[in-house]
């Protein structure tokens, strides 16, 4: 199995390093030919407006939607989560392209600006009892989930920050930046 990491912009190297540590083959995806060679895809954190524009420019938007429709597992972290969402609350930039695959409403920059970035220990029942150390960098949150979506983690104040819908996984934070591979393992198991 080869896991693709969308490598247009953002934190893709860190995802690759994590996957390689798990003994998984990876491929940086920038072209439709590369997408065709992978069985799973991670959309990393970065800047969702930039990644969205590059998805269009590199002819990847339609092909990724097509692969998702065929059941390919996709995981979006942070900006990647925004791109996966069917709806983007407020912070959507006029004409911003997005994949619109997952039945969630994502709110960009929900915790404020870059300086308001933070780390916290999250309870994630799907990963067992040990809390997951989560790094939030100018992170989005999930305002709303559809019926088919399972919430995987919320902050103490109730804001949803991780969710799953069939083969789609979304995390508002960056699991590739800590040594804890449990979210990567969860994704590989979808
Ligand atoms: N704030 C960024 C956005 O709206 C996401 C930040 C991140 O991916 N770390 O796209």
User: pLDDT of 49-108, one tens digit each?
Assistant: 999 999 999 999 999 999 999 999 999 999 999 999 999 998 777 878 999 999 999 999
Pocket test for ligand 1, best of 48, 114, 134 (most atoms within 8 A of CB): 48
What's the pLDDT at 171? 98
- What's the CA-to-centroid distance between 55 and ligand 1, angstroms? 16
Number of C-alpha atoms within 13 angstroms, CB side, residue 164?
Answer: 14
Token code pair at residue 169: 């996984």
Question: 4: which strand partners?
Answer: 27, 41
The catalytic residues are 78, 174, 176
Q: What's the Cα-to-Cα distance from 135 to each of 108, 117, 132, 178, rounded to whole Å?
A: 16, 8, 10, 8
Q: Is 143 in the pocket of ligand 1 (CB under 6 A)?
A: no
Give the residue whose CA is nearest to atom 4 of ligand 1: 108
What's the pLDDT at 168? 98
Q: Is 78 in the pocket of ligand 1 (CB under 6 A)?
A: yes
Q: Is 135 in the pocket of ligand 1 (CB under 6 A)?
A: no
Chain-wide mean pLDDT for the chain?
96
- What is the number of H-type helices and E-type strands within the chain? 6, 12
- Is 108 annotated to bind a ligand? Reply is yes
- Is 154 annotated to bind a ligand? Reply is no
Q: Is 101 in the pocket of ligand 1 (CB under 6 A)?
A: no
Name the pLDDT band for 113 (thresholds 50, 70, 90).
confident
What's the pLDDT at 71? 98
- Is 67 annotated to bind a ligand? Reply is no
Q: CA 62, CA 188: separation in Å to the nearest integer?
A: 23
Number of C-alpha atoms within 13 angstroms, CB side, residue 19?
Answer: 23
Give the residue whose CA is nearest to atom 8 of ligand 1: 45
Model-wide pTM > 0.95: yes
Evaluate whether ipTM surpasses 0.90: yes
């Amino acid at each position: 199995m080869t896991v693709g990491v969308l490598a247009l912009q953002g934190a893709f190297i860190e995802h690759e390093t994590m996957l390689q540590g798990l003994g998984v083959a990876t491929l940086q995806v920038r072209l439709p030919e590369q997408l065709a060679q992978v069985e799973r895809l991670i959309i990393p954190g970065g800047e969702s407006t930039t990644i969205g524009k590059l998805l269009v420019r590199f002819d990847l938007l339609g092909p990724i939607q097509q692969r998702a429709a065929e059941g390919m597992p996709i995981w979006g972290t942070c900006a990647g989560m925004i791109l996966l969402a069917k709806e983007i609350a407020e912070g959507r930039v006029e004409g911003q392209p997005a994949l619109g695959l997952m039945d969630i409403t994502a709110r960009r920059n929900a915790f404020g600006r870059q300086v308001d970035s933070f780390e916290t220990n999250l309870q994630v029942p799907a990963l067992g009892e040990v809390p997951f150390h989560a790094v939030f960098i100018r992170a989005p949150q999930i305002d709303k989930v559809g019926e088919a979506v399972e919430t995987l983690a919320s902050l103490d104040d109730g804001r949803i920050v991780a969710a799953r819908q069939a083969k789609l996984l979304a995390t508002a934070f960056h699991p590739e930046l800590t040594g804890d591979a449990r979210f990567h393992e969860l994704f590989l198991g979808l």
